[in-house]
Structure 1
Amino acid sequence: MTRSVYVTGIDRGDGRQVVELGVMELLTRQVDRVGVFRPLVHHSPDRLFELLRARYRLSQDPATVYGMDYHEASALQAERGTDELVSTLVDRFHAVTRDYDVVLVLGTDYADTQLPDELSLNARLANEFGASVIPVVGGRKQNTESVLAETRNAYRAYETLGCDVLAMVTNRVARADRDEIAERLDSRLPVPCYVVPDELALSAPTVSQIAQSLDAKVLLGDDSGLARDALDFVFGGAMLPNFLSALTPGCLVVTPGDRADLVVGSLAAHSAGTPPIAGVLLTLDERPGDEILTLAGRLAPGTPVLSVPGYSFPTAEQLFALEGKLNAATPRKAETALGLFERYVDTGELLKRVSAPSTDRVTPMMFEHKLLEQARSDMRRIVLPEGTEPRVLHAAEVLLRRNVCALTLLGPADRIRKKAADLGIDLGDAQLIDPATSELRDAFAEQYARFRAHKGVTVELAYDVVSDVNYFGTLMVQEGLADGMVSGSVHSTAATIRPAFEIIKTKPDADIVSSVFFMCLADRVLVYGDCAVNPDPNAEQLADIAIQSAATAQGFGVEPRIAMLSYSTGTSGTGADVDKVREATELVRARRPDLKIEGPIQYDAAVEPSVAATKLPESEVAGQATVLIFPDLNTGNNTYKAVQRSAGAIAVGPVLQGLRKPVNDLSRGALVQDIVTTVAITAIQAQSPSQKVSQQ
């Protein structure tokens, strides 16, 4: 029977989209076929479903998502009664359950619905669907006692109506009251109650949403600028010195369009990072001259400047009525929402209570979820040497919002802050260090000179070397100031890993440094090694790569079954290349008799059961290999790229293995998500007991 979870509320304004998004994240960690059903909708397409569809790559036909619109429901209920309405919605719900292992149901929104007793309707639908319920209670602008009473009453209401209440979520409470509310509810309810504080960045509209709502003209600004959250509004009327002191981080400056001094002054303040603003909104249908707009564009590239025809006061009324919305066009808000959910909800406990049917399949999305969850479970500090690169900054924001790890970014701090401000990125608690001016530079130079004394490196020469961001980041890892390093989005592989070879060196039980790619196919994750580092390993090195790759696979939840690949299977072929693979296989068996290994074996016999049944019917690896070791770099690199492009696989890596402490390289074409995933992998590698460092 399909499991279903019904997220509902008791009134509007509870911000339950955070919970709906968080529950979807949990469900997609456990199964790969998750459906969505919204019984009643105001209009199609629904913005939350569009967000879920984009984020989780849902293939569900949107026509099956919605039961009916509110007008149809109200007319049906008035004409034929509630039973007929419920019966129709149940039929449409069950049409969805036939195709999915679990269904997330999005309850009604209590907004202009013209439906009597909407809470009872949600409860009845949940019961008829056989769905467990997660009620959400909004606590914004309420005191502690009011929140406590409303939460207890909501639980009693749904429980009395016969619902299977999985957990309660009290959302948008004042941060100062959050801990007290959580403590008091913990002893008052028989189910878990998760208390989530209000988050300004979620309710703040983006500049793009403001432009759409006010029908504003966009005079300046790019997509990154328009995606910024307007956390505050500052209205310009004072003289420039007094006006500048009123600016707040993330504010939208609202000023008559003829105040060129305030426009230029606020953008200059943004450029200096004191403070970064969201943008400028000009009223009265006035706009500065072209020379002022040109100057504005140069002062703060990408920062939006909008224009509206109205006066400042009615514009202010419209602005204060706006509220940010989660949708497919606001991916950064989604990251903030998930970070909030994962910080304040015991996701492990909730997932157990949901008890969605598990699956043996591991999809790319499930693998990515697991990486983030595993990294978050024991947070490490990762250093990112390329601190001014936009992709790295976007990835840093995602990692910080999702609480995946602590971060140190290297580069001139003022340049990093300015670049982040131009991109509308909040770096939160990220540590910024400029190697050229850092107080660590002298100590690092002395340390590096000791490491490389046998090569004639003096302290003076080392002083120049350690100003390089990759050398500086590697020394931070070596000296325990960071747990791992990720670089390579703008540096070559050699520039990224050479410092690690010189400073960190290999583990005592590793002969060489090698790499693997996690190849995320539609229904499983395979580990390919070595596809990036060693051009032509000999038998001993190939055996070492196999053992390291098995350990890496196991560390990331992939049961290692090793296939030592060759152009022949078993004893069918001869020649130096086959003999090398055969010898490496025997070395692995001698060194690690506990590992399951087969070789030499062809790729099709390694992964396809029907081929394996013919070629190696008695093998416990053939047909079900998970770790595939290529005989040389030429074969491995070409194969991983062929599978990536032809089969639509997601290739995560290269992940370096064999170093004493984790350092990983990025492709110079890496996307933001690639960087996020690689940092999470590096953080997990650093969780090994032998590699942990004390947090700074």
Structure 2
Amino acid sequence: MQTFFIAPTRLNVGLTSVTLGVVRCLQNQGLKVGFVKPVAQDRNVCDVERSTHFARQICQLDVPDALPANYAIEQVSIDETDDLLEEIITMSMAAGKDADVLVVEGLHPDPSNPFTTQLNTEMALGLQATVILVSDASEKNISEEIKIAERQFRNEGVQVGGVILNKAPADFDKAALQAEIGELKIWGVVQFDSKLLAPRTIDVALHLNAEIIVKGELTKRRVSETVVAARAVPEVIRRLKPGALIVSSGDRDDVILATALAASNGVQLAGLILTHNTELNETVRAFTEMAFHTGIPVLRTEGDSFSTALAISQVPTAVPADDKDRMSLVMNSVAEQLDSDALHVGVQTKGAHHLSPPAFRYQLIQKARNANKRIVLPEGEEPRTINAAIACEEKGIARCVLLGNRAVIEGIAASQGLTLPASLEILDPEEIRAQYVAPMVELRKSKGLTEIQALRQLEDNVVLGTMMLAIDEVDGLVSGAIHTTANTIRPALQLIKTAPGSSIVSSVFFMLMPEQVLVYGDCAVNPNPDADQLAEIAAQSAYSAKAFGIDPKVAMISYSTGQSGTGVDVDKVRSATEIAKARHPQLMIDGPLQYDAASVLEVGQQKAPGSLVAGQATVFVFPDLNTGNTTYKAVQRSADVVSVGPMLQGLRKPVNDLSRGALVDDIVFTIALTAIQAEQMLG
């Protein structure tokens, strides 16, 4: 097992962020990763050891509790360092059991506890670890600092593999630093990004000990700028942008009205803080009541505006233990900027593993980037869709085409604080609709479609987008954020039609379980498939799983296992299993199996001895839509599992549906799925 020991060269280098970014980067490579923070640092910010906490919550790792810092200090002070190291190594080995690589987070240098530097060295030496130094790229004399830290480890016989530079300014010269530090390789340069420092409004409220007047979206909105309303309203208005936290005395009715108007217009302000312990004028409050139902939080504090703004600037930059969303963004940002090849070298895997959720997401994005497909988004004026399109364009996931009015789309983007990339394609349906009438009439001539009927149908942007796909102007379509599944599928069936060899369209969800990714089908399309259709769904789902790197072991789910049950429903599953096996002998398919017999090895061995699927299924095919949809939502909500999909299968070209409750990330991943499908269909 490879062990990496992450050691900072000084205080405040962002050790937790970089360490967990390393964990995520390794997970993205499909490696099984263990993590441990052997000794907790001083807990001034919160009573939770954040590295351990986030590794459990986000990386889904089984991480042992860190030893308290005061305990470690006491052990060193009474000359029991050997016993302490034995305890640390035992804990670390347990954390790395069955892992390909173990990541160990060291201690910050602490002037009040000079033992920390020596303990880092002894831990790395005892674990036979390769040290990765973490340094702050914004500091002066960084090369000397790195050399000193490297020398301290090497003089004790510890191997130093590389250095990761954090908080790098935009003009950071990596080549110049590499020349200065010699043979020690730079394994990553993480650019400074102020967006990743943005606290939530609730973090500011807690720091100020402010009174909450209107709760609003206190835990969701983030503060990117503090606006002190000390000037005339026209100056304040210019700064009423998403993420702005307005600091004003309650008697500034003009500022309050301007803030309320901005909130009513959809500007996602971080909040309003009333200073001097003032209150809103009753007349003004009544007039602006609806604005304060848009989600904007309103707080009150005793200090004046200047002291309040100063206090806001001193909100700790460390990610609070309950801010999982921000830490996920930080981890992913760090992981994307690391040299994954350098980290991967020397890691010896212990055999095949299930495809982990981080590896699935990472491979999904990488494959989509390589495919470089053009994906049309008919719901181009929908805010989440705009946000997802921007993300895909900026990250190179796909070339998205938004259908909608440019002015409307630009206005929605501005209200969310988003900037539309110049390369993001926007097509106005009013300007292009007519050019698809003749091709649509030709496609539907067997149904007697007239030009007037075609033009009327093309007023639906989903139909328009589907026509673009039908005549190969785009490579795929994603819709459903504000449309039903039927609205998305019906035009596809009429204009795209099913793929050769397919008689039905079905769907799968990729369920990102803590340890592996499972495939559920069909949970979105076919209400009550017969045995023949169920067999086809099984095959479609198996091949979809295989296409996305999942070894398909298909379980045909029923309320009974094997030959134990009788009845119309279980007989249908039994018959479907036989049909699927006969048509696709190369696939591993078994059924009927109860869910526990399919998913739990001990149960599977007991109920279906000798089965190659029971207890280790990766593809679950449900007997009907009622069972499939209920199961996927129960697992998703009760187990807090991310589901990607539904991905449609069986069409000649890729069209994918979204849940109307889809988040921006859900849409991004669905766009990536669609791009990969388009590439695979070419093969």
Superposed displacement of residue 170, structure 1 = 0.6
Equivalents in 1 of 2:258, 2:544: separation in Å?
53
Superposed displacement of residue 657, structure 1 = 0.9
Partner of 2:208: 214
Q: Counterpart amino acid of 1:40?
A: A
Equivalents in 1 of 2:639, 2:280: separation in Å?
54
Match of 2:655 among 641, 649, 663: 663
Q: Does 1:88 align with 2:87?
A: no
Q: Does 1:116 align with 2:114?
A: yes
Partner of 1:170: 165
Partner of 1:281: 273
Partner of 2:194: 200
Q: Does 1:330 align with 2:330?
A: no
Superposed displacement of residue 602, structure 1 = 5.3
Equivalents in 2 of 1:557, 1:207: separation in Å?
41
- Give the stretch that moved more between structures: 45-54 or 521-530: 521-530
- Give the stretch that moved more between structures: 433-442 or 288-297: 433-442
Q: 1:181-580 to 2 correspondence within 5 Å? A: 184=178, 188-223=182-217, 226-245=219-238, 250-269=243-262, 272=265, 277-296=269-288, 298-299=290-291, 301-355=294-348, 357=350, 360-362=353-355, 367=360, 371=364, 374-375=367-368, 380=373, 382-385=375-378, 426=418, 429=421, 439-475=431-467, 477-478=469-470, 483-518=475-510, 525-534=517-526, 541=533, 544-562=536-554, 577=572
- Give the stretch that moved more between structures: 610-619 or 317-326: 610-619
Determine helix, strand or coil for the equivalent of 1:286: coil
Q: Counterpart amino acid of 1:208?
A: I
Partner of 1:14: 13
Q: Counterpart amino acid of 1:500?
A: A
Q: Does 1:37 align with 2:15?
A: no
Q: Contact 1:409 / 1:430 at 8 angstroms: preserved in 2? A: no
Q: Counterpart amino acid of 2:253?
A: A
Equivalents in 1 of 2:487, 2:626: separation in Å?
21
Q: Does 1:53 align with 2:56?
A: yes
Q: Does 1:135 align with 2:130?
A: no
Q: If the length of structure 2 is used for normalisation, what is the TM-score?
A: 0.80
Q: Contact 2:531 / 2:572 at 8 angstroms: preserved in 1? A: no
Long gaps (5+) in structure 1: 692-696
Superposed displacement of residue 200, structure 1 = 0.7
Q: Counterpart amino acid of 2:340?
A: T
Q: Contact 1:411 / 1:432 at 8 angstroms: preserved in 2? A: no
Q: Contact 1:568 / 1:578 at 8 angstroms: preserved in 2? A: no
Change (3 A) 1:295 1:529: same
Determine helix, strand or coil for the equivalent of 2:278: coil
Q: Contact 1:364 / 1:525 at 8 angstroms: preserved in 2? A: yes
Equivalents in 1 of 2:633, 2:305: separation in Å?
56
Superposed displacement of residue 628, structure 1 = 5.4
Q: Counterpart amino acid of 1:193?
A: W
Listed one character per residue, the Cα deviations across residues 192-211 of structure 1 (whole Å, up to 9, x for unaligned) are 42111110112333322222
Determine helix, strand or coil for the equivalent of 2:17: helix
Identity percentage over the alignment? 33
Change (3 A) 1:320 1:582: closer
Partner of 1:584: 579
Superposed displacement of residue 238, structure 1 = 2.3
Change (3 A) 1:475 1:359: same
Q: Contact 1:270 / 1:421 at 8 angstroms: preserved in 2? A: no
Q: Counterpart amino acid of 1:289?
A: N
Determine helix, strand or coil for the equivalent of 2:160: coil
Determine helix, strand or coil for the equivalent of 1:338: helix
Q: 1:637-652 to 2 correspondence within 5 Å? A: none
- Give the stretch that moved more between structures: 329-338 or 640-649: 640-649
Instruction: Count the aligned residue pairs.
Output: 671
Superposed displacement of residue 494, structure 1 = 0.9
Equivalents in 2 of 1:310, 1:583: separation in Å?
75
Listed one character per residue, the Cα deviations across residues 67-97 of structure 1 (whole Å, up to 9, x for unaligned) are 222x4544554x435xx34642541452353
Q: Contact 2:9 / 2:146 at 8 angstroms: preserved in 1? A: no
Q: Contact 2:187 / 2:339 at 8 angstroms: preserved in 1? A: no
Equivalents in 1 of 2:93, 2:400: separation in Å?
42
Superposed displacement of residue 172, structure 1 = 0.9
- Give the stretch that moved more between structures: 29-38 or 569-578: 569-578
- Give the stretch that moved more between structures: 476-485 or 551-560: 476-485
Listed one character per residue, the Cα deviations across residues 213-270 of structure 1 (whole Å, up to 9, x for unaligned) are 12223333523x5533322333332222233345566333333332222233245346
Change (3 A) 1:455 1:251: same
Determine helix, strand or coil for the equivalent of 1:177: coil
Q: Counterpart amino acid of 1:122?
A: N
Q: Contact 1:585 / 1:597 at 8 angstroms: preserved in 2? A: no
Change (3 A) 1:617 1:430: farther
Q: Contact 1:384 / 1:410 at 8 angstroms: preserved in 2? A: yes
Q: Counterpart amino acid of 1:95?
A: M
Change (3 A) 1:621 1:419: same
Q: Counterpart amino acid of 1:207?
A: T
Equivalents in 1 of 2:465, 2:184: separation in Å?
49
Superposed displacement of residue 137, structure 1 = 0.7
